[in-house]
Amino acid sequence: MQFEAHYNGVLTNKISEIMTQQEFTELTGITPTAGDFDYIHAVYLNTSMDKDEFCKDFKKHGESRIIRDVHIRVLNYEMKCERQKNAINELADFLIGKAHAYDDTDFRNQAVKLVGEMDVVKRTIELGLPLWDEDRKVILSIIEEQGK
């Protein structure tokens, strides 16, 4: 489906194509306030368009309420995801600590389900806790992979 292909393209990262406010003004003839440009630039970074294509389209649809509403929903979703990510990370650290406190790898295994084996090993080291046999196996497999 054509929409899906376009939608997948939207998810690309545009760090290398940052647009300045001056570029936007030159391409559109519109001089936004700093706050308005922050919004415009955030929308631009979440599209699959290049600068010229975005500016041309923005001149036609820039004041669209639909675009503003969708942008707000995206921001709210991103904040919710960030909060969930932080909660998951805190829970993983809690489970790793409990695994060591109670000498029970079931807690560790639940942490692995949350953040993955590599993250659990990394967090165990960062927390200054002793390594489990499972942790050592992960580290040894990494060393073996790098030695190939």
Helix intervals (H) in 16-64: 21-28, 34-45, 51-61
Residues 98 and 104 sit within 8 Å (Cβ to Cβ): yes
- CB-facing half-sphere around the CA of 58: CA atoms within 13 A: 26
- pLDDT reported for residue 98: 97
What CA–CA distance (Å, rounded) separates 74 from 139? 38
What letter does residue 15 receive in the DSSP assignment? G
Query: Which H or E run contains 118?
Result: helix 117-126
pLDDT along the chain (148 residues), means of 10: 38 66 95 93 89 94 90 93 97 97 97 97 96 96 90
- pLDDT reported for residue 3: 34
Provide the total of helices (H) and of strands (E) in the chain, helices listed first: 8, 0
- pLDDT reported for residue 1: 31
- pLDDT reported for residue 47: 87
Listed residue (11, 12, 41, 14) closest to 25, CA to CA: 41
- pLDDT reported for residue 16: 53
How far is CA 31 from each of CA 63, 69, 101, rounded to the nearest angstrom? 14, 22, 60
Listed residue (23, 45, 51, 73) closest to 32, CA to CA: 23
What sign does the CA torsion over 133, 137, 142, 143 have?
positive
- pLDDT reported for residue 148: 80
